[in-house]
Amino acid sequence: MQFYLNGYRPGDPLLHEAHPSVAGSSNDLPAEVDVLIVGCGPAGLILAAQLARFPEISTAIIDRREGPLQVGQADGVACRTVEMFEAFGLARRLVDEAYWVNEVCFWQPDPDDQRRITRTGRVRDTDAEVSEFPHVIVNQARMLAYLLEQLERSARRLSPHYGLHATGLSIGSRADDDHPVAVTVQPIRGGNAAGDPQTIRARYVVGCDGARSATRGAIGRELIGDARNVSWGVMDVLCATDFPDIRRKCTIQSADSGSIVLIPREGGYLARFYVELDVGRGSGSLVGREVTLEQIVATANRILRPYTVEVRDVGWWSVYEIGQRLCSKFDDVPVEEMATRLPRVFLAGDACHTHSAKAGQGMNVSMADAFNLGWKLAAVLRGVARAELLHTYSEERQRVAQELIDFDEEWSRMLSTPPRRPGDPDGIGMDPEEFRSYFLSHGRYTAGVATTYGRSMITATGDSQHLAVGFTVGMRFHSAPVIRLADAKPVQLGHVAQADGAWRLYVFSDRGGPAEPGGRFRALCEFLASDRSPVTRFTPVDADPDSVIDVRAILQHDHRDIELTSLPTVLLPRKGRFGLVDCEKVFCPDADAGDIFDVRRVDRGDGCMVLVRPDQYISHVLPLDAHDELAGFLGQVLLALRPAVR
């Protein structure tokens, strides 16, 4: 983390100085904004946190709730989401507060007595190789609180407008209208309409307004899919129990009474029980009834036999009913008009896909939608990217949501199928081994790191993938430990990728590296510093030289063998009002933690460039001498702000 570039300031260096446009502005809802976000759930607040990084972009965020969420809803935080929180500087706090899901236990009917459950397996939840971060559990309200605090500390000093219900949306068709989307909002007090509706005009509107999204309806999209809502009783409880795995995540399947997903919660005492209610077998079915907390507790006790759970305090409980549904597109432009029209309204999170809570993906996928969209909107609004980039949001995220729904259907079916009885001649029911192996084989998926974006203007084909086998084009940049050359600090390379809207060009040196005059590494660095380079051409004059494309180098040398001052100038850029040199752009292998060239299988003979989008997904892997190919690829997305000089 870097600060004091433009002068030393006492106090908390992470509290950004307020942008001049904020001074003296009131907290009233503005009449016009660049982006209006409807909904302060996980999707809306990640998007707001991303846009708040750009003080020149005006953003408003509204919610019909009259204040922030306090209890309940989702709690599973996948490894990939923690990686994303790291980009916002929030990961450490999150992992400190959270419960870590280290192991998962499987409980099924005892083969000798089907009336009792017994532990049939215990597995590690997430392979350490999947991510440098753990899979954690923390309440959605806390996740949102971290983001709200982040917004308040941003240069934009953004805070939501609560108690505003978006009731209507229209998109103007005048070509010269630069705020074409009008949204009507109704103030709410004490749950009732209070005062006159207002209109806010925006360049772009993002409906992060949940499963019953009004934005979705306003742009003529609908959730299509399984209309059956499956009910689960959910309770966050402090309880007395003799169940031995109360502090481990468990899937618990009884013979006749249904199943439980048990999730220990942060703080060491709290636990969440997801209790299946739609059990059409046995006497305990609660289908079609008004469900009470007492009934959920009673069902839990039937499933847990011979163990018991006595609830002493209830933090939150609910009956969570949801079907698996999806919108065909996540913006307002019909497929047949994509060549002629650009999107103005987007949907993110539950507004465009819903699925069960069993795979713990809702909050994660919703935030990932917003992270995908945020940098694209910012790049277009800052004038650094072509507006066609916005089409890639729906293309990329709709496919991810479809995959999630397919996975969720299969996982839900398995969880709700009673385990096979020993010696059952018909073979009906789930084979316990199949259940366990499905869970294990989908570990990378549930950790959120299996997402692979297909070929597009921002994802190349991967012709040079052999140069960096462990950095798969289309997948997220998987971090690895390195040593920072300037100060010998062991760091994670991926953590340089902050949510600042910049692309990252990681240059992995060939064997010669900077020590070889006239070699390919030096030639690339000279090109990147030249007037022909995309770094120069796509970065606005007077902007931070890293603000559009941030070049980083990873050398094969021991960090003690290279003098900082011997590095090419593109790796020692001058910045800020004093023209200070940024010394933190070059890294070397960390032999103790594992040499990154070996860990990520980067070609030592040839080296390579790994180009990463602002949301940390790999766009391209290129040979070190593919200067024109790099410039050409980026030229499809970014706008040349300075003329090409040959």
Site for ligand FAD, rule CB under 6 A: 38-44, 62-65, 72-74, 140, 165-166, 208-210, 214, 234, 318, 320, 349-351, 357, 360, 362-363, 366
Pairing relation of β-strands 608-612 and 586-589?
unpaired
Q: Crossing angle for the helix pair 432-441 and 391-416, nearest 10 degrees?
A: 160
204 within 8 A of 181, measured Cβ to Cβ: yes
Choice between 76 and 418, CB closer to ligand FAD: 76
What is the closest distance, in whole angstroms, from the C-beta atom of residue 349 to ligand FAD in the complex?
A: 2
Give the C-alpha separation, 496 to 507, whole Å: 14
What is the closest distance, in whole angstroms, from the C-beta atom of residue 394 to ligand FAD in the complex?
A: 15
- Token digits of residue 532: 């022909």
Q: Which residues of 203-221 are buried (b: 16+ CB within 10 A; e: fewer)?
A: bbbbbbbbbebbbbebbeb
Dihedral of CA atoms 564, 568, 574, 579 in degrees, nearest 10, equals 70
What is the closest distance, in whole angstroms, from the C-beta atom of residue 192 to ligand FAD in the complex?
A: 15
Choice between 139 and 556, CB closer to ligand FAD: 139
What is the closest distance, in whole angstroms, from the C-beta atom of residue 348 to ligand FAD in the complex?
A: 6
What is the closest distance, in whole angstroms, from the C-beta atom of residue 303 to ligand FAD in the complex?
A: 18
Choice between 358 and 476, CB closer to ligand FAD: 358
Closest CA to 255 of 428, 442, 39: 428
What is the closest distance, in whole angstroms, from the C-beta atom of residue 166 to ligand FAD in the complex?
A: 4
Choice between 148 and 483, CB closer to ligand FAD: 148
Choice between 320 and 471, CB closer to ligand FAD: 320
What is the closest distance, in whole angstroms, from the C-beta atom of residue 641 to ligand FAD in the complex?
A: 34
Dihedral of CA atoms 334, 335, 341, 342 in degrees, nearest 10, equals 90
Choice between 291 and 363, CB closer to ligand FAD: 363
Choice between 350 and 615, CB closer to ligand FAD: 350
Q: Would you give the DSSP letter of residue 513? A: G
Closest CA to 104 of 310, 364, 359: 359
User: Which residues of 127-270 form beta strands (DSSP E)?
Assistant: 136-137, 161-162, 164-171, 181-189, 192-193, 198-207, 224-225, 230-241, 249-253, 259-264
- Token digits of residue 614: 């602002």
CA–CA distance from 554 to each of 402, 561, 626 (Å)? 37, 14, 18
What is the closest distance, in whole angstroms, from the C-beta atom of residue 73 to ligand FAD in the complex?
A: 4
Choice between 62 and 155, CB closer to ligand FAD: 62
Q: Would you give the DSSP letter of residue 187? A: E
Choice between 65 and 557, CB closer to ligand FAD: 65
What is the closest distance, in whole angstroms, from the C-beta atom of residue 63 to ligand FAD in the complex?
A: 4
- Counting other chains too, the contacts that 24-31 makes at CB distance below 8 Å and 24 or more residues apart are 27/159, 27/161, 29/60, 29/62, 29/161, 29/164, 29/185, 29/198, 29/200, 30/58, 30/60, 30/200, 31/199, 31/200, 31/201
What is the closest distance, in whole angstroms, from the C-beta atom of residue 211 to ligand FAD in the complex?
A: 6
Identify the burial level of 141 via C-beta atoms within 10 angstroms of its C-beta, where 0-12 means exposed, 13-18 middle and 19 or more buried: middle
Choice between 279 and 401, CB closer to ligand FAD: 401
